[in-house]
Amino acid sequence: MGKTFKKLKKRFIQFKAHPLTAQNPWRSFLRYLLFNISLKFKKEIVYNSLGGIKILVRKGDSSVIGNIYFGLQEFTESAFLLHFIRKEDEFLDVGANLGHYSLLASGVCGAKSICIEPVPKTYDQLLQQLKINELDELVTPFNLGISDEEGELYFSTDMGPMNRVVNEEYKNAERVNVKTIDSIVKDKDIRLIKIDVEGYENHVLKGCEKIMSTENLKAVIIELNFLNEIYGGNAEEISRYFATKGFSPYEYEPFTRTLSLLNHYNKQQFNTIFIKDLDFVTDRIKNGRIIEIRDKRI
């Protein structure tokens, strides 16, 4: 009982602190309770989210459940995408998991997306998300791993949204075909990339030299943290790589639509937004769509 109380208390504190739920944390807390009670009686729930998109949620689907609890998963980065992406753009989602970012880019913004997810079971769930949202014509999914060369890698299958590259001796591992981003994207004019590969980012970036040098690519949302060191890289090194390609790290404030230049990657959260051509990006977000979430307009 004490463990449950601590969990509920922690969640309520999160609702009090989150910018989308702080004004009425009790309402969000009640939604949270009702949703989790429902999951005890149902295998899965289809939740109607912002912009008319539907989210198929099962117990443990933490990569999308923030849309239900808080209104928008990974709030600042997701809001940046919503303000920045246009219908004529193409978006690349590396490490798509259940497709949160691709659903926003294609389901809300109407852009074309390429989404890549290596773990077969997760990929099957991703396909279900795309199907219930009727996004077959806008989203091209790939069941592949991404690295600096083509071949095969082993991925864990027991870490949920944190599944990552492991060795073949790992107990719950599955062998997956691997390609480079450049070999998949080829001549596509990608405008925005999201990369979340649980520490393997350094190898992914080595396989996308061509696309990183294109004029059309204006921003990259990438997860940088201690996990990068597991695979021989580190966040500072990756930040320097972005600098050589003309990108700088920024923090985004969704309510004022302002970008603040950082001295290094964003150490306050897992994801960092790297931007090239600040004037272009600033103009885009200032004139981007207005999103209504939890009685707020951003």
The pLDDT of residue 90: 98
Residue 184 · residue 142 · CB < 8 Å = yes
Cite the DSSP H helix spans in 235-292: 235-244, 278-286
The pLDDT of residue 227: 86
116 band by pLDDT with thresholds 50, 70 and 90 = very high
The pLDDT of residue 188: 87
Span 157-204, pLDDT tens digits: 999 989 999 999 999 999 999 999 999 998 889 999 999 999 999 999
Rounded Cα distance, 172 and 51, in Å: 37
DSSP character string of 34-94: HHHHHHTT-SEEEEE-GGG-EEEEETT-HHHHHHHHTSSSSHHHHHHHHHH--TT-EEEEE
Q: Specify the 3-state DSSP secondary structure of 294.
A: coil
The pLDDT of residue 43: 87
Residue 201 · residue 223 · CB < 8 Å = yes
Reading the block at residue 146, the tokens are 């991404």
Rounded Cα distance, 149 and 147, in Å: 6
Q: Which amino acid is at 80?
A: F
1 band by pLDDT with thresholds 50, 70 and 90 = low
Rounded Cα distance, 143 and 117, in Å: 5
Rounded Cα distance, 192 and 113, in Å: 10
